[in-house]
Structure 1
Amino acid sequence: MKRLLIFLILLPLFLIITGCQKIVTEHSDILEEQVTVTELIYVPASHGTAVSPTGGITGSGEIGMGLTVTSVNIKEEFTILFQCQHGNFVIKRPDLWKKVYKGKTYTCLYKETYRTTYDDDQFISRELIDYDFLGLKEFPELLR
C-alpha cells in the first residue's frame, strides 16, 4: 500500500517535469562526400552437413544414444569497405560491388538520421543516430 501511495504521488510530479515531449526521427537533405574503396570482399555461397554422435542419461536413468545432423548454408556476400571523413563503413550490395574498384575514389550520397526531441512544438535537442547510404553519384541507376 505504501509503494502504491508513493507511486501515485511521484507519477504526476514526473509528468509535470518531463512535460509533453515528443521524440521523432528526422532525415537531412541529401549530402555528398568523397569516399575511397579500401577493400572488396567476396564470400562464395557454401553448404555443409555434419553428422555427430550424441549420448546422455534420460530423466529415468537410462542411457540414450543417437545421431545429430547439422546443416549449414552460407549465402553469397558482396561487401565493400569504404573510407570517408567519418571513418570506415561497410556496404553489402552486389550491384555496386560489381562496378567499383579498390583504391578508387567516388562521391557518396547519403542522408543523416536524427532523433529529435520537441516539447510541444518547441525544439529541445537533436542527436545524430545513423547515416543512410543512398549510393554513389557515379552510378545514378543504382541510387536508392
Structure 2
Amino acid sequence: MPGRRGALPLAGKVDHDADAAQVAEAMVSIWLEIEASLAPVIGHRGMAALYERSLYLTATSHPWLPVPHEAPQSIDLSALQSVVAQQASTEALRGGSTLLHTFCELLGSLIGDPLARRLLGPLWEPGNEDAQREVQHR
C-alpha cells in the first residue's frame, strides 16, 4: 500500500544525515500515530498482533528487530527504539522503513487498501515516490 501511495513518513521526519537515535525517535513518533489511528478500530490487542506479525516478517531481512516471544498485549516501542538506536543510521532507516511497509501491506491485505488508506492516509506524504525508493535502496 505505501509504495503505491507515496513516501512513508519516516523519510519525511528525519534528515538525510540523521543518526540512528534520531531515526529511532522518529519511528516511535510514527508508531504512536499509527496506534492512535488504529486502536479505536481494531483495539490494542489487534494493533499489537499486527505489529508483532510485521516485526516477525521484517526480521527475516533485518534480524536485529525485536521479535516478541509471547503474544503481546500492546506494542513495545521502547524495545524498538533501543534496537534501532544501536544500528548504523542507514540500516536503522532501512529497517524502520521496511517495518512500516510490512505493517501497511499486512493491514491492507486484511482490511483492504481503501480502508487502510482511509485509516492511515494522514500519516503518509502524497506523491513522494522518489524519496521512498531512495530509502529502500540505500
TM-score, with length taken from structure 1: 0.21
Q: Which has the larger radius of gyration?
A: 1
Q: Which one has the bigger helix percentage?
A: 2
Structure with greater contact order relative to length (CA < 8 Å, sep ≥ 6) = 2
